[in-house]
Amino acid sequence: MKEMYISEIAKELSEENLALFCGAGFSMSSGFVSWKELMRPIAKEIQLDIEKETDMVAIAQYHVNANASNRHKLNQLLIDEFSKNAKLTENHAIIARFPVQEYWTTNYDKLIETALEKQGRIPDVKSTVEQLAYTKPKRDAVVYKMHGDIGSPDKAVLTKDDYESYHIKYRQFIIALAGSLVSRTFLFIGFSFKDPNLDYILGRIRVAYNSNQRRHFCFIKEINKDDYTDEKEYEYDRIKFELFVSDLGRFNIKAIRITDYSEITKTLKQVESLYKRKTIFISGAASDYGVRKKDDALIFIHNLSKTLVQKGYKIVSGFGLGVGSSVITGALEEIYLNPNQSSNDQLLLRPFPQDVTGSIDKNTLWKKYREDLCLYSGIAIFLFGNKLESGNIINSNGMVTEFEIAFEKGLFLIPIGSTGFIAEEIWNKINSNFDRYAYNTASLVSNFKMLNDKSKSDHEIIEVVMDILKEVINK
């Protein structure tokens, strides 16, 4: 069931229908304390034992009441906790790479928008009703902070008063979230579903759409028997947990069960890997085309690229010498001839800078550039692999680097050995150790063998590549 959910989330991600909702649990691994720990000094001040309390919102309200409706200490607590230099986690980096347009959160920290900026994206942050009316130029993601931002702690939604008046003061956030829950598939991470605002929205969507609610997903940590010393207490909590998971079904929220929080990272990586496997990095360079005539080789590259776009794949190209131009024309031909089936975003061009200026040397810059190319992709296809140097044809060391980076980044590798040179060397390397390179089925191995069969026509080689891709995508 879990694998099926992961595949469905990856599909929604590839179709740009996925939205993320990050709760307090998502930020805890960055070094922030839990709500319970945050409220500990507050509870102590009003003579309550935090270990006996479960409603942290009520604790915050009691403290405000005890201080004549003054929440200065609460505000200062938020500033002290959420203004410290917390580190971004691997989870933040992964979700920032996702092509997600909407990030929702109840957290006050700035980690999501910071992670997006580190990925070169432009987040449009909405933490007040007034900000909803404005659009940040060139934004490519909106971060909805429905409980406010650490920059304005006095406006943070924290107490019972805040929650009870939310539907009036923040009505526009409710409307926006309700609309997104209807039109997008949400993945909830680090969220307890105890937020009355979300409960209010989900309830009204359930009533309005009844059995036609959109499917959503959430991570839920299972009850661990090892955490209990009392058998009856464990059994009680286990039953309550199962009832809670069942109740999520009323809102068509499917639970992705985990036994440890590290599984969230693993699952997000799986989603990213599945999503990226529809994006293919074509690595190649050629001053000599081996057994092929130049024109035949260029037509082969052209048709390979065209077929990939035709089958719905995205292509990433570094515009390799003698290869890149045919990759581009093949992709563009399919995009322009069949605009209803193909789109411009199926071709991502990242030509290598030739004249390097500045303090970074060319080799360092190019290595980083190659890492970026692989970061976009889940599969790498290798073609030819040679260059002209001092009047001699030599193997392309840059293509060797691309192979090493692609393997290190976990890309699935498809060397077309029949094109010779570095591509054939990579083919030989994989041929000697199939398991290491994820050629772990009889059909994958059989098709792989044909990639180095020089008696096969170019059309047959392209069909073999498509068969390999189909199996890898559907694994």
Q: Which of 63, 92, 147, 216 is catalytic?
A: 147
Smallest CA-to-CA distance from 330 within 300, 354, 357 is with: 300
Quote the CA–CA distance of 396 and 379 in Å, as a whole number.
20
Within its chain, how far is the Cα of 329 from the centroid?
30
- Are residues 147 and 170 in contact, defined by beta-carbon separation less than 8 angstroms? no
Q: What angle do CA 309, 310, 313 make, to 5 degrees?
A: 40
User: CA–CA separation, 438 vs 124, rounded Å?
Assistant: 40
- Write out the DSSP string of 318-370: ---TTTHHHHHHHHHHHHHH-TTT--GGGEEE-PPPSS--SSS-HHHHHHHHH
Query: Token match 């209807």: residue?
Result: 182
Q: Judge contact between 289 and 384, C-beta under 8 A.
A: yes
Q: How many helices (H) and strands (E) does the chain have?
A: 20, 14
Question: What's the start-to-end Cα distance of the chain, in Å?
Answer: 15
Annotated active-site residue 147? The verdict is: yes
Residue of 267, 263, 264 lying closest to 275 (CA atoms) = 267
Alpha helices by DSSP H, listed for 46-153, are 56-66, 72-82, 90-97, 111-118
Task: Report the catalytic residues.
Answer: 147
